[in-house]
Chains A and B, each alone.
Chain A
């Protein structure tokens, strides 16, 4: 008698396992679909939240990197007694003497209000300011002319103005034509250009810019710059930053404010994700609910499919093969939910971003994390039902029907 004969235990082929894991989904489509929906909603929420904020941040960061991060802004600060300090007239020239500085341009505040016409009540200042501006300002702050032209050596001498983007809007000027003029500090200034928004120097947006000579001649300007825009070599930005205070105002370096606008914008881009945590939390709750749904359907499935389990054991399935079948079914269910969720989340991101003309960015962490979370949830939610299915005695499963 060949009792020493050994029995080889055949392995289930991957293709057969794939087919087996779809049995429950094929036979109970609606129920499987609904429980996958929970996972899909959770994953879609997570992908969309991460995608939307990433797209928005990416848009801003793209803009910042196009404008350059090497712009430093020097402004007059305050004296110890709280008065507005003045920058020395020679400050731009002294800053230009720093080796690593590549460009220096300045503006200077000029007292006086601006109106579309002398008939407008003087109280309606529109929060606009008049600034004297140097001729190379636009290139340094990274903006350009939207309409007309900028100041040049000739127009800088005359009562001629260029409007910042917001200033033009508030004054009701949307295009430049010959003879277009505004009422600035009790005299007419002719408008020769309108600027695009200056992302790195938003002060310019609400300014009416005139030439330095014109400011001195017509607007009783005292010659002190108020804002100096400095471009430094990209690798030397920090070093230049440290030198600017003492260079701009050697007597009172503490009365100088120095800022790096791109740094503030980067912080703003990061801050756009401030509400992400809330929505991610909601997505996580949806995922948890989805996981409970998957666990629930799998437990019901095991109860309903006792005869199938018993039959499979009779046909030669090992406990491990039954366990693997039900576990892979749960994982597949969650995976389908996860994939649908990633699709919905990506679509929502794409629609929103294209509506706002932003580039569509779906972080790898979002979609891979969504799919990974779905697989993990399927595995965890399906484990206990799968163990129950494997533990089911074939005789009970088959003869207790």
Chain B
């Protein structure tokens, strides 16, 4: 894999730039006392006063059992839904104050998604699938394809840019999906059960890729029900019944890494 050889233009994709970007720039993501109540009969409260902050360059695992509210949290972090109360800010922009169109523009330019089911268009090449990550950002096709090739290089698939998804293995497809999330150089990448459809070895390879991308300064949030996967992340946020029950850094490879988001840890979430 040739990570690091690709030139990405977004500030925050290199450790040197990350350090300077962190000084004075708003956090990548702020979730402040967020609740989410679905208006059914009876109403379902999916999130109860969740707060945390992500700084640029963090690798975070959000873990919890089914029904703990982690997917709802993903919707809110990805601006695909709005909170019932509380505030969500992406790179300082208050989601509450943005119109639907502006939220779409926010997603197009600052958020990358990786899904369990990959969601690749089978009639398109890997390259064009990745290029679609820039479709709604107003980038011309030629530039989209050039940047898609860079992103494919980043995930180690640059040798088969014209392969159709059906010609790729599960792991390769997820790499294409990750490249699509990265191609717009987003402020944050949200991955929903990214290894859920992969065997263990392939899943491990995808996690390694996330770590390498993290090493390059990409901010990544992995949502998973699997504690094992969450244990690979620098910072782990555990959820249960719509609340954060643990939020802390953890020891990886024999050394304790400090999350830059310490200052905003939720007190009630500490264990």
Contacts and interface: CB of A to CB of B under 8 A. Distances in A.
Interface of A: 1-3, 5-13, 15-16, 23, 26-27, 307-308, 310-321, 393-395, 398-399, 401
Contacts of B132: 315
Contact of B123 (A8, A27, A393): A27
Given A316-B107, A395-B80, A401 B92 contact: no
B133 interface: yes
Contact of A316 (B26, B71, B81, B108): B108
Nearest to B115: A398
Contacts of B262: none
Interface stretch (B7-15, B93-101, B150-158, B163-171): B93-101
A401 B196 CA distance: 14
B108 A10 contact: yes
Contact of A7 (B80, B98, B122): B98
A314 B107 contact: yes
Interface stretch (B55-63, B134-142, B199-207, B236-244): B134-142
A315 B114 CA distance: 10
A312 B136 contact: yes
Contacts of B97: 3
Given A10-B136, A26-B123, A5 B80 contact: no
Given A23-B123, A26-B123, A307-B117, A315 B71 contact: no
B135 A16 contact: yes
Interface residues of B, number: 37
Given A10-B136, A315-B108, A319-B100, A308 B26 contact: no
Nearest to B104: A318
A315 B189 CA distance: 12
Given A3-B89, A7-B98, A16-B135, 5 more contacts: A2-B93, A3-B94, A10-B105, A318-B100, A318-B105
Nearest to A322: B104
A3 B136 contact: no
A127 B177 CA distance: 89
A254 B117 CA distance: 93
Given A13-B140, A16-B135, A395-B81, A316 B105 contact: yes
A311 B119 CA distance: 7
Contacts of A23: 121, 123
Contact of A395 (B75, B92, B98, B138): B75
B80 A8 contact: no
B246 interface: no
A1 B92 contact: yes
B71 A399 contact: yes
Interface string B101-119: 1101111110001010101
A313 B80 contact: yes
B248 interface: no
B78 interface: yes
Contact of A394 (B80, B102, B109, B138): B80
Contact of A313 (B104, B121, B137): B104
A15 B80 contact: no
B77 to A, nearest CB: 12
Contacts of B100: 318-319
Q: Which 5 A-B pairs have the closest CB atoms?
A: A316-B108, A10-B138, A316-B136, A318-B104, A316-B107
Nearest to B123: A27
A26 B133 CA distance: 20
Contacts of A321: 104, 136
B94 to A, nearest CB: 5
A7 B115 contact: no
A237 B117 CA distance: 83
Contacts of B93: 2-3, 5, 7
A7 B102 CA distance: 6
Given A1-B92, A3-B92, A9 B105 contact: yes
Contact of B136 (A26, A307, A315): A315
B23 to A, nearest CB: 15
B105 A7 contact: yes
B41 to A, nearest CB: 18
